[in-house]
Chains A and B, each alone.
Chain A
Amino acid sequence: MLTFLTRRIAAGIATLVVAIFLMYLLVDLAIDPLADLVDSTAPNKAELIQARINLLHLDQSVFVRFFTWAGHFITGDFGTAWKTGQEVGPLVGHAIGSTLQLVTAATVLSLVLGVAVGVVSALRQYSTFDYVIIFVSFLLYSLPSFWIAILLKQWGAIGFNDFLADPVIAWPTIALFAVVSGLVWMIAVGGSRTRRIQTFAIAAVATFSAVAFVQLTDWWSTPHFGPVLIGVTGLALAFAVSGLSAGFGNRKALYTAVTTVLVGLVLYYPMQALFDNVDESNLLIAGLAVVAIGIGYLLGYLFRGPDWRVSSRVGAIVAFLVASMIYIDQILQVWPAYFRALKGRPIPTFGDSTPNLGGNYWVQTLDSLTHLLLPTLTLILVAFAAYTRYSRSSMLEVMSQDYIRTARAKGLNERTVVMRHGFRNTLIPLATIVPIDIITLIGGAVITEAVFARPGMGALFVTSLQHAEIDPVMAYLVITAALAIIANIVADLVYAAVDPRIRLNP
């Protein structure tokens, strides 16, 4: 283990040094810091050029410049972006923060959605649902991301803002939406003819009443959850989570889940008082989330039973979901004020925050969420396709293994076979690509950030390369390359951790 790590890290550092050296040469070849001066008509053109050459030491050979730069870099001096005179260190720091905001939500959401859809699609191989999903994932996979981004920016944002100004959906549209949702659920769940008709009816009626509720209560102007909605959604989630994770046969898990939701409801009003009287920060919210998960876990433990760990797991998941709903409810409470402050155009198309907005923690959070909405959607659409295809093929592979047949043969019910024997093994190959994906994305969703003008890592790279500033470009390259190497080592370790058949030391 230790030898493996040492060897990999040493090899990684060697690769990094060589890669950075080559990239320095390439970037130096690619940029021309004198481009703007060569075409200038200033009378003192020659002196300006000479001054620029002195500033950037262009008279020295590129090798000398590389070693000067590398020496400074190792001692912690990342250089300056010479056009604006900004230090690269703080520049990169801010960029990473902005990128992390964008990437986290997008990765988590696309992973959850992609894996869920991929697994269902694999379970219903050769069904209509399967074919629809294959086609949709192919289509999303073939969409140029800059095209989706512009479309969302120029069309989605403006359309949604117009809609929010007068949030009324025509009733035929709602009915059509309900029918489509019913059809999707019908082909996803499948089964016999009666089962299909039942699913269709339930899904269509549920969608219709949900949208009608939103419409009739004027939800769009004052979006909120409130204790009633949290209670209803929480109970639905409690049943879904315990049904999937423990099976309905496990009553203790179900009781834990329901109790957790009730505890969350009881805590709703005290939490409102708490949020009104405390100075919030992300740290505090994270702490509260941990407390919530702890409560759920504890409730599972209190129900005892032979396998209380299962109940605890269910309790923790449900507690986290209910706590998230309370949190989102709190954010949405400032929506009307935010809506007025932005003069009724709340969905922005560029940047990562509204300048000079002011307001408390909740307003700031809502503001960054609205800025995240469209870029996150763009990233999800692209990543969703990849994860769906990957988890589908992985699940197909797993479900044709002998141990699945054995599990069926010994009489396990279908839920246990799929969730415990199939699903878990499906995640093994995913465990190796997800760390690489996440860490690569920290290098910035270059295109998305460029289109939405989010000041993240990718945008830093693009603008610096366009401005012919080598220092920020190189700082960016060192960070992404180092992260890529770390990601590969992490992926190997994760693979070995989840699959005991893999041994790191040959």
Chain B
Amino acid sequence: MSTSPVENLEPERLENAIELKDVEGLSQGQIVRRRFFRHKGAMAGLGALVFVILMAFTSVGVGPVEGWWTSGNPSHSGGPADIINVGGTPTMSMPTWLGGDGFAIGDHPFGQDEIGRDIFTRVMQGTQTSLAVMAIIGLISGLVGVLIGSLAGYFRGWIDTWLMRTTDLFITVPTIVIGAVIGKIAGGVSPWVFAFGMGLVLWTSLARLVRGEFLALREREFVDAARVAGASSPRIIFKHILPNAVGVIVVSTTLLMSSAILLETALSFLQFGIQPPAVSLGKIISEYQSAFSTRPWLFWWPGLFIIIIALSINFIGDGLRDAFDPRQKRIPSRRRMDKARVVARPTVAGATPSGTTAQGSSEA
């Protein structure tokens, strides 16, 4: 930070050169994709999320299809069964080098509750519901938010006024409160209706962002050019403006989904969300919270899965934001800097590289 501007110029110029060389001949989409796939946090998040999705949907199956965990084993159905360990403690044990009795999965790796239901099955069912609810909320609120935001931002005037007044209406009541009311109406019906209802509530912040983006983009020259060339409004919106706003949309929809899963589990925890017989991660925690002191595993596993999902989505969102941010620069490794320095200015080769201070990158 404290390097003087003069020292700073050299590495910054080099970094720019490296960056330019890196993206030579690539389209915008390719650059974004490359940046995203090189973001370690986002890749770790993506890996964890894919793993959780695969595990949740293959282990207990979807609908009539049996999964590898439930098939051929009635004690894994999620219903009452004989209790294997005393008190239903998990049968999974750690490898010896971690202080366990050797690695084993056993019949009920996450343990059983007081009537012998397999917690692994229940957590996987809950994960399925929570993931599905999250995806639907993301989809619905994304669509509504983009629609309202783009209409308001593109047409301005009275459409803008009325749409933004509607948005204000939703914003006056805290999300968790309006979510509780919607959840009380729709939660008992089915998780899908609940997710649909929540999606119709959570679009406000996205709509505001998209509107802002549209307000800025519609004044740009390429939009004028399209209009002069005779393009219709839908064509300008979909072909010219929307592709330029896609970064904002993708990033904030992703982050919206991570808050959606936290909201859904919190509402289910407060009894306002998913109702039995449907299972959700928040519902499991709510059911078992009084058993915490005697059967802590009933509480740890569902919580852990909520955290894994929310955390990996947050990391993916962060990676997407960095990838879409045109000001974002990767700090090249010292070796690449040296190499570029040799290429750029053979005379100063070997000069000690000063501290790499890449400014101009931001993380909101």
Contact = CB atoms under 8 A, between A and B. Distances in A.
B180 A484 contact: no
A181 interface: no
A150 B1 contact: no
B332 interface: no
Interface in A124-155: 124-126, 134, 138-139, 141-147, 150-151, 154-155
A42 interface: no
A481 B356 CA distance: 49
Nearest to B286: A146
B314 A138 contact: yes
Given A154-B292, A484-B173, A400 B359 contact: yes
Interface stretch (A48-56, A68-76, A442-450): A442-450
Nearest to A124: B1
Interface in B167-220: 168-169, 171-174, 176-178, 180-182, 184-185
A30 B181 contact: yes
A393 B173 contact: no
B67 to A, nearest CB: 26
- Report whether over half of chain B's contact residues are helix, strand or loop; otherwise say mixed: helix
Interface string B290-312: 00110000010001001100110
A477 B173 contact: yes
Interface band, chain A: 35 or more
Contacts of A450: 270
B172 A19 contact: yes
Interface in A422-473: 440, 443, 446-447, 450, 461-462, 465-466
A16 B299 CA distance: 40
B177 A396 contact: no
A100 B169 CA distance: 25
Contacts of A440: 174
B292 A150 contact: yes
Given A27-B181, A31-B184, A447-B266, A392 B173 contact: no
B362 interface: yes
Contacts of B359: 399-400
Contacts of A29: 185
Contacts of B293: 154, 158
B9 to A, nearest CB: 12
A447 B263 CA distance: 10
A45 B185 CA distance: 25
Interface string A26-47: 1101110000000000000000
A154 B361 CA distance: 42
A414 B2 contact: yes
A123 B311 contact: no
Contacts of B177: 443, 446, 461, 476-477, 480
Contact of A19 (B169, B266, B307): B169
A480 B174 contact: yes
Nearest to A29: B185
Nearest to A123: B1
B174 A147 contact: no
B315 interface: yes
Contacts of B120: none
Contacts of A155: 292
Contacts of B364: 389, 393
A396 B303 CA distance: 33
Interface string B5-20: 1000000000000000
A503 interface: no
Contact of A393 (B5, B171, B315, B362): B362
Given A22-B169, A23-B181, A396 B318 contact: no
Given A142-B314, A446-B176, A15 B169 contact: yes
A247 B186 CA distance: 59
30 contacts: A15-B165, A15-B168, A15-B172, A19-B169, A23-B173, A26-B185, A30-B185, A31-B184, A126-B331, A126-B358, A138-B314, A138-B315, A138-B318, A144-B265, A144-B282, A144-B306, A145-B262, A145-B266, A146-B266, A146-B285, A147-B285, A147-B306, A150-B292, A389-B364, A399-B359, A408-B4, A440-B174, A443-B177, A462-B180, A481-B173
Q: Which 3 A-B pairs have the closest CB atoms?
A: A142-B310, A30-B184, A142-B311
Interface of A: 15-16, 18-19, 22-23, 26-27, 29-31, 123-126, 134, 138-139, 141-147, 150-151, 154-155, 158, 389, 392-393, 396-397, 399-400, 405, 408-409, 414, 440, 443, 446-447, 450, 461-462, 465-466, 476-477, 480-481, 484-485
Interface of B: 1-2, 4-5, 165, 168-169, 171-174, 176-178, 180-182, 184-185, 258, 262, 265-266, 269-272, 282, 285, 289, 292-293, 299, 303, 306-307, 310-311, 314-315, 318, 331, 356, 358-364
